[in-house]
Amino acid sequence: MRYVVIGTLLILGAPTWSAAITSSTLRSVIQAYDRVASIQDPVRAGSRGDPDALGRWPDDAQSQVSARVRELRKLHDTLNGSPEGLTAEEILTLELLRQRLEMAIEGSRFDEERIPFQNGEGFYTLPESTATTTSIRSEADARAWIQRLRGIPAYFRIETQNMRRGIATKFTQPRIIVETAIGAIGGLADEPPEKSALLLPFDTSGGEIDATRRTALRAEAITVIRDIVRPAQRELLVFFTKEYLPKARPNLGMRTVPDGDAYYSYLVRFHTTTTLSPDGVFELGTREVARVHGEMEGLQRKIGFSGTLPEFIASLRSNPRFYASNAEDLREKVSEILKRADYQLPAWFKTLPRLTYGIMWKPPGLESISSGYMPGSPEQGVAGALVLDGASAPRNPLYSLPSWAFHEGVPGHHLQIALAQERTDLPQFRRNDDVTAFVEGWALYSEKLAGEMGLYRDDYERFGQLSMEMWRACRLVMDTGIHWKGWSYDQAAACLRENTGLSDYSIEGETKRYIGWPGQALAYKLGELEILRLRQKARDALGPRFDIREFHDRLLTDGPMPLSALERHIDQWLQR
């Protein structure tokens, strides 16, 4: 579940202070908030080393969600006071926690639990996704994982009840997204238990379990998958096919559901952590598309292609030079690209994470989920991972591969997320990787930064970076076009088809993603633009004293935060 919020002053206005907030008060509220967060998201809590969470799935039953919201309101009321004797770090923590609470409370009125899935992923892929980052190093770990497997039917039943409430209130996904979900669930249900991704935790090397005992526990898990999990998945497939699909909403846009105007406006603010309206985002996106388009045409002329930009893009898409020969070739190329970045990191960053990262293949049955970065867990001894889709090797062009790798690996997601995870002196909520505008804004900024670091080797790779930037600019007009202006699928997809070097396969997947996950895709470009603006602000203020390594340190080492809080954080650093 999400906890992303926007600035206090942007939502509720200046607070009316009452009782004093001391360090002791703040600590007790943080502890209470962590307990609520652990119940709401036991998967994340388990990855951080909470043993009580390792055997549970999220409980999104309506009664439980209501109880959590009541608790959040109490915590918010406790923080409605004047800081007394707090350090600067504690004041920042107070601000960020208040913001989280306010946004969670505001969002609770929309009953988002009624739609617990996006395009091709959601609650029905969570068990398999969790398996990829779960480590079994002891008998207790194995028992907790098997307990989780046994709990899948109950978890699915709760989410099904929520979706039935969505059907009754006409708050559903559109048909095109439901059909993708049906394909994903069917693929999982048909996977032989012996080959299930749910067995991945038993492949963990090391630990205190001997081989014979590990084999016996794995066999027990196979039995649970065959006798308990697979029937639950088949039952879920029937629900989606027979009950949910016929009631899917007829239009693509979120604005067409009851209270959709207010809900989409909230999602825009939620994901971007700004006060921008949907129309404001659309207008910004239109300007960014035009700007990047001009840069792409300039680079095309430099390369020497005399036709139009769409013709140049078509020539790149059809050139076999720009595709990996097979999955292993793809992995080798990603590995080489990332080592370019590794070599340059110390020149651009003062603080580097201790947690390592690697490359893994997308597990069987999870073909519908996005490729990208899978956070590791320092507490559980799990490295971060770039997740590759071997089947996409002949479909996705190599000229965009460096940008993608820098975004997902270093200096992008792995660097930022691992640094936050390792700030063990901060409260857990400040170490989480869930402030979309910050996390994805940083990763997109990293694609541009890679050019300054000299990591793109030729003009085609530089064109790939611009194509990837155009992709994120198109998101601003596509998302708002679909959900605010009533665009059709073809109207939305045209932005990517006419302006980027993405493959047809990627264009289809991305367009469906924005339909099924409204608002989230807006955060990337807005976050990147804000980071670039703050960097220029710091450069102007410091002049010759500006140090890019120091700026990156200030940006990353205090954990992710909403963009409004980030600017105040950078301003305080500049004043010091």
Q: Is residue 399 part of a domain?
A: yes
Averaged pLDDT for residues 248-265: 97
Residues 307 and 426 in one domain: yes
pLDDT for 12 equals: 35
Residues 231 and 310 in one domain: no
Residues 26 and 50 in one domain: yes
pLDDT for 18 equals: 52
By CB atoms closer than 10 A (0-12, 13-18, 19+), residue 497 is: middle
Q: Is residue 539 part of a domain?
A: no
pLDDT for 200 equals: 92
Q: Cα(261)–Cα(238) distance, rounded to whole angstroms? A: 32
- Residue 385, beta-bridge partner list: 358, 374
Task: Encode 188-245 in three state secondary structure.
Answer: HHHCCHHHCHHHHHHHCCCCCCCHHHHHHHHHHHHHHHHHHHHHHHHHHHHHHHHHHH
In whole numbers, what is the pLDDT of the chain averaged over residues?
92
pLDDT in tens, 266-283: 999 999 999 999 999 999
- Residue 361, beta-bridge partner list: 388
Side-chain half-sphere CA neighbours of 561 within 13 A: 26
pLDDT for 221 equals: 97
pLDDT in tens, 376-403: 988 888 899 999 988 877 888 999 999 9
Q: Is residue 447 part of a domain?
A: yes
- Of 107 and 205, which is predicted with more confidence? 107
Q: Cα(63)–Cα(437) distance, rounded to whole angstroms? A: 31
Under the banding of pLDDT at 50, 70 and 90, the label for residue 368 is low
Averaged pLDDT for residues 307-330: 92
Checking if the pLDDT of 48 tops 90, the result is no
Distances (CA, A) of 215 to 142, 167, 221, 228, 380: 11, 44, 10, 20, 21
Residues 104 and 121 in one domain: no
pLDDT in tens, 335-353: 999 999 999 999 999 999 9
Q: Give yes or no for a contact between 524 and 442, defined as CB atoms under 8 angstroms apart.
A: no
Q: In the sheet where 372-374 sits, what is the strand order?
A: 357-361, 384-388, 372-374
State the alpha helices, DSSP H only, in 306-355.
309-317, 327-348
| 90 phi, psi to nearest 5 deg | -70, -35
pLDDT for 3 equals: 29
Ranges assigned E (strand) in 249-299: none
User: In 10 A of CB 484, how many CB atoms?
Assistant: 22
Joined tokens for residue 386: 């770039």
Residues 187 and 166 in one domain: yes
Lowest mean pLDDT among 317-326, 365-374, 486-495: 365-374
Joined tokens for residue 293: 């388009």
Q: What is the DSSP letter of 377?
A: B
Q: Cα(523)–Cα(429) distance, rounded to whole angstroms? A: 20
Q: Cα(510)–Cα(475) distance, rounded to whole angstroms? A: 9
Q: Is residue 332 part of a domain?
A: yes
Looking only at the bridges linking them, the beta strands covering 384-388 and 357-361 are parallel
pLDDT in tens, 122-144: 999 999 999 988 889 899 999 99
Q: Give yes or no for a contact between 348 and 548, defined as CB atoms under 8 angstroms apart.
A: yes
Q: Is residue 563 part of a domain?
A: no
Side-chain half-sphere CA neighbours of 552 within 13 A: 21
Whose tokens are 């603006």? That residue is 533
User: In 10 A of CB 464, how many CB atoms?
Assistant: 25
By CB atoms closer than 10 A (0-12, 13-18, 19+), residue 575 is: exposed
Lowest mean pLDDT among 3-12, 73-82, 93-102: 3-12
Under the banding of pLDDT at 50, 70 and 90, the label for residue 11 is very low
Buried b (16+ CB within 10 A) or exposed e, 515-551: bbbbbbbbbbbbbbbbbeebbeebeeeeeeeeebeeb
Chosen domain end from 195, 219, 250: 250
Lowest mean pLDDT among 24-28, 235-239, 390-394: 390-394
Joined tokens for residue 566: 């980030």
Checking if the pLDDT of 1 tops 80, the result is no
Q: Is residue 442 part of a domain?
A: yes
Checking if the pLDDT of 19 tops 80, the result is no
Checking if the pLDDT of 328 tops 60, the result is yes
Residues 212 and 178 in one domain: yes
Q: E strand or H helix at 125, and its extent?
A: none
Checking if the pLDDT of 464 tops 80, the result is yes
Range of the domain at 62: 1-110
Checking if the pLDDT of 8 tops 60, the result is no
Lowest mean pLDDT among 18-22, 33-37, 227-231, 539-543: 18-22
Task: Please state, for a pLDDT cut of 90, what percent of the chain lies above it.
Answer: 81
Residues 124 and 14 in one domain: no
Q: E strand or H helix at 359, and its extent?
A: strand 357-361
Looking only at the bridges linking them, the beta strands covering 372-374 and 384-388 are antiparallel
Q: Is residue 131 part of a domain?
A: yes
| 502 phi, psi to nearest 5 deg | -65, 150
Chosen domain end from 50, 80, 110: 110
Instruction: Count structural domains, the chain.
Output: 3
Q: Is residue 21 part of a domain?
A: yes
pLDDT in tens, 276-314: 999 999 999 999 999 999 999 999 999 999 999 999 999
Q: Cα(312)–Cα(554) distance, rounded to whole angstroms? A: 41
User: In 10 A of CB 211, how many CB atoms?
Assistant: 7
Residues 183 and 83 in one domain: no
pLDDT for 224 equals: 98
pLDDT for 205 equals: 61
Residues 244 and 141 in one domain: yes
Under the banding of pLDDT at 50, 70 and 90, the label for residue 78 is very high
Residues 488 and 430 in one domain: yes
Checking if the pLDDT of 515 tops 80, the result is yes
Checking if the pLDDT of 13 tops 60, the result is no
pLDDT in tens, 155-189: 999 999 999 999 999 999 999 999 999 999 999 99
Instruction: Please tell me the total number of residues recorded for the chain in this structure.
Output: 576
Residues 372 and 505 in one domain: yes
Torsion of CA 66, 61, 513, 509, to 10 degrees: 170
- Packing angle of the helix pair 309-317, 459-483 (nearest 10 deg): 110
Residues 434 and 467 in one domain: yes
By CB atoms closer than 10 A (0-12, 13-18, 19+), residue 350 is: middle
Under the banding of pLDDT at 50, 70 and 90, the label for residue 423 is very high
pLDDT for 30 equals: 95
Joined tokens for residue 113: 């639990």
Q: Give yes or no for a contact between 479 and 522, defined as CB atoms under 8 angstroms apart.
A: yes
pLDDT in tens, 474-503: 999 999 999 999 999 999 999 999 999 888
Peptide bond into 42 cis (omega under 30): no
Q: What share of the chain is helix, strand, coil (3-state, %, to 5)?
A: 70, 5, 30
Chosen domain end from 64, 80, 110: 110
By CB atoms closer than 10 A (0-12, 13-18, 19+), residue 110 is: middle
